[in-house]
Structure 1
């Protein structure tokens, strides 16, 4: 009896452990679902946009009031761009991958034409001539050029998989003339910060495509020499670098490094838990570009460490989702384009946050999805819409999405169920 009881107990414990294991399997199964990548990108993007709108309203309200405008002026403009970007992203997510292959060259050709138009007709903002105005609409063609370059690089190298080891096939036509035209036109508008982001994007596309290391060595040396000449050839850029390297500059809130110093003041004032949403002191004309390049400092001041960590976690989720998409796909075009978009968003976020916390010099790069700026927000949302399009085309994902009713159908499903119950009662009578 005791042996049987022990066996029964052993069987029972084995059954319970198996049951516990079976209960844990659905969680792992959900992470391995084809829908995981899609919903991670969609959820992180939506949260960042909504959070960014809240912080843009908080950071820009004082500046708008000081300019004799309504406190919600910048917020309403950003909300309009968010709606336009969301519609564009929704449309982009519904397009098939083959459509993005067809649209790649027209997109980059249009971007080059718009960048060329900036030189004679563009507007200068903060010393950079990188804005183009068409009636009441003002935008930066360089933001659209980033997306065009990524798609063109994906198309070119998807068709050159067997010849990627040749320097000539790497250089033509992606590096020369397309990338050279784009970077040259951006530099003609004196926008070195955007040009550096574009160079990082180009390097990421080449790396994922499998370009030989000698291309990176030659390209890196050429880029270093070019950036050095551009920095030394401009007194404004030279002073930014020398001031950034000067330890005394970073302690003077009234000097050349005043913007960086006030950004650090904002983060320090926020402490662990922040001073409260809307209660920032630095946005009262102390910190310039509070709603744009330095919005991360306002987040740290008002929401403290949890607010800044939330931004980092959301971008980390986006990074993991993009890596998951790139590593699981068998389509070379999707792999190169997905890696390019991921590098664009994360690289720009790292540069922006690094400038705010003092790791990098200030070069005027916004925080994607969070900073105020219509061109950046709309283009970023379109890029993420393309990632959603790629995720929808994962094996099994489209079928699962089509099998699920959308939010409107789920909401309206309550009414028909009540209407159908009436005939059933009548038939029972």
Structure 2
């Protein structure tokens, strides 16, 4: 057979080449293509907007009286929170649209920047001290809390680490030492502020990501035992922490001092009943309940909107977390899955710990409710998490069984 006839036969049997992608688009799994907006998880976006709008309403309700007395206008905290919400939405939109590889490229710079900020909080005039703790940095318009950035930086690092070292994480020198050292630096700097709750949040993120990342279970059990002993030592050797711990065990034993905030929170929930006293009708926010528009804003929700209102918040927050976990479980790339899982943990742990503290199921600790509590750092951090999740929802996704976030053990 001649060469010409062979070429003609090959042309008939071979499939045509796929059409070239339009200029400005790409076909790689991590690059933006023409249908990137259509693949975005709009249910997650809608739930985020709903919680943010509800949070603005509750901040206005919970802070109006305090704002009028301290600043001469009922809208002071509401207006500031509105600015944070707009800035957060812009940041969320940017993170949802940029190629995810550009975000991943910032992992190590973000680790270094976060470490520097945590040092500046405790060792520079920029640190702002409130109630004996220095956890904020002055940035002119508002005080920034580096802990919110530290949680995201840690998740990005751990996701990179366990995706790159998957074949070696079973070894103690690889699967334990590097991630524990990085987390230990963050937690140690937070304890110097002091911020025991922030350090505890870092260790919980580390444990839960190691659990799915491939670290051997025996190492995790040992680390939990050591962390528990270290935490108990810190509590019993600190009069301030010990008083807060005993107030958690029996807040009514010292209802005028260490148990005061928790007792007032319980009064708020108890007086709300089934349907609440009505939006804006809370009495506990009239300087009885400290931090009514911050960490204890859910107590105001319970008093004004009752069991029905609190349940509605639980349902919406639960749907948001479920949607976020669903995104994590269906992603193809291991680093994408671990990143989505980690930022989902930030939101989920924040919501669970906040409600546990407000309802007296956990020792008192300043943990804001994501999207609802007043505070620019918390709101911006939550928006960053959602922006990353929206971005990852556009990445290649399949159907994976539950529990397959990480690799094998």
Aligned pairs for 1:322-361 (under 5 A) are 322-361=324-363
Does the CA-based 8 Å contact 1:37-1:324 persist in structure 2?
no
Q: The residue matched to 2:284 in structure 1 has which SS?
A: coil
Structure 2 partner of 1:230: 234
Distance 1:141 1:230 in 2: 22
Cα deviations across residues 97-145 of structure 1 (Å, max 9, x unaligned)? Answer: 2222211111111101110111112121122211111334410111101
Whole-angstrom CA distance in 2 between matches of 1:295 and 1:104: 33
The match for 1:411 is none
- In the alignment, the residues of structure 2 paired with residue 267 and residue 296 of structure 1 have an alpha-carbon distance, to the nearest angstrom, of 9
1:202 aligns with 2:229: no
2:95 equivalent among 92, 95, 109: 92
Report deviation, 1:44.
1.1
Contact 2:245 2:364 in 1 (8 A): no
Q: C-alpha separation between the residues in 1 aligned to 2:40 and 2:232?
A: 40
* 1:38-61 Cα shifts (integer Å, max 9, x gaps): 122111111111000000000000
Contact preservation (8 Å) 1:146, 1:198: yes
Provide the C-alpha distance between the structure 2 equivalents of 1:134 and 1:295, rounded to a whole number of angstroms: 25
Aligned-residue Cα RMSD (Å) equals: 1.7
Which of 125, 131, 134 in structure 1 is aligned with 2:136? Answer: 131
1:107 paired with 2:113, answer no
1:189 pairs with one of 188, 193, 204: 193
Pairing of 1:352-371 with structure 2 (within 5 A) = 352-371=354-373
Provide the residue aligned with 1:180 in structure 2. 184
1:37 CA displacement: 7.2
The correspondence for 2:223, drawn from 187, 202, 219, is 219
Query: Which of 46, 67, 72 is matched with 1:64 structurally?
Result: 67
Residue of structure 2 aligned with 1:292, choices 285, 291, 294: 294
Residue 212 to residue 395, structure 1, CA distance change in 2 (3 Å): closer
Q: Residue 96 of structure 2: SS of its match in structure 1?
A: helix
Alignment of 1:244 with 2:271, yes or no, is: no
SS of 2:143 mapped into structure 1: strand
Equivalent residue number for residue 12 of structure 1: none
8 Å contact kept, 1:266–1:282: yes
> In the alignment, what sits opposite 1:155?
160
Partner of 2:15: none
Q: Provide the residue aligned with 1:379 in structure 2.
A: 381
Give the Cα separation in 1 of the matches to 2:75 and 2:39. 36
- Residue matched to 2:392: 390
Residue aligning to 2:174: 169
TM-score normalized by the length of structure 1: 0.81
Q: Which residue of 2 aligns with 1:9?
A: none
Per the alignment, residue 43 of structure 2 pairs with 40
Taking structure 1 as reference, are residues 128 and 38 closer, same or farther at Cα in structure 2, changes over 3 Å only?
A: same
Residue 381 of structure 1 and its aligned partner are, at CA, apart by 0.3
How far apart are residue 377 of structure 1 and its match?
A: 0.6
Distance 2:211 2:98 in 1: 26
The answer as to whether partners of 2:371 and 2:382 remain within 8 angstroms in 1 is: yes
- Conserved 8 A contact 2:332-2:397: no
- 80-89 or 161-170: which moved more? 161-170
| Cα distance in 2 for residues equivalent to 1:243 and 1:253 | 8
Aligned match for 1:141, one of 119, 141, 146: 146
Note the C-alpha offset of 1:168.
Answer: 1.1
Instruction: Name the CA distance, whole Å, in 2 between partners of 1:99 and 1:201.
Output: 23
Q: Distance in 2 between matches of 1:391 and 1:284?
A: 43
Query: Matched residues in 1 for 2:133 and 2:338: separation?
Result: 31
Pair 1:69–1:226, CA change in 2 (3 A): farther
- Asked if the contact 2:142–2:376 (Cα under 8 Å) also holds between the matched residues in 1, the reply is no
